[in-house]
Amino acid sequence: MKQILCFGDSNTYGLIPNTTKRYSFEERWTGRLQQLLGYEDYHVVEEGLCGRTTKFTEKKRQGRNGTKMLPFLLETHHPIDKVILMLGTNDCKEEFHAEPEDIANGIEQLIIQIRLHNPKTEILVVSPIELGEHVWEERFDPAFHPHSVEVSKGLKEAYKQITEKYYCDFLAASDFARPSKEDEEHLDIPGHQMLATILYRKVKGVSSYGSCIY
């Protein structure tokens, strides 16, 4: 059986937009991916945490720095055949003053950690969906800034360069899904379904995705 570790933030956790609740296993993309792959040959491990970053340490919440946590999880879930990395949205917060290249460096550090643990583990880097134009407003998430939106738009190209350097698979979630209108930050159910479908095709080696953005 192949084991797939999904390492991400609230969009991997399955946070319901504009709430503190979580989508059911069947609704969030990790659970849907498990259903599509089947239970006989694949085991999808969910490791999503709200607020998780690639490499930044949040002042108000502990345990959000991805580089501090990933090595432990690689050991916890060993052996791992594939890691799906989808992080970067929280790195765009005003608190971290990060540009796309800074965030991509965090992804690079995570890739190196995986390679050090097991050079044979396959890595699929997924650049996250873009933030909505008004995500920084008080009614949504004031932890962000207007510039955060532009930073989120630059992650696709920055991540792509890193994956080419390390010969990792790459997928841009922003090519297929947008943030919900409820909070301009998180996936809604159609977004989770779309991402699961695209990732299923990627895992199974289907090269053509068609026009899938909704």
Confidence of residue 112 (pLDDT cuts 50, 70, 90): very high
DSSP state of 128: P
Place of tokens 């709430």: 19
**Both ends of the chain: CA-CA distance in Å?**
33
Give the mean pLDDT of the chain.
96
- Per-domain residue ranges for the chain? 2-204
The fold of 2-204 is Rossmann fold (3.40.50)
The identity of residue 168, as a single letter, is C
pTM, entire model: 0.95
Confidence of residue 187 (pLDDT cuts 50, 70, 90): very high
What are the angstrom distances between the C-alpha of 169 and each of 75, 84, 122, 185? 22, 9, 8, 25
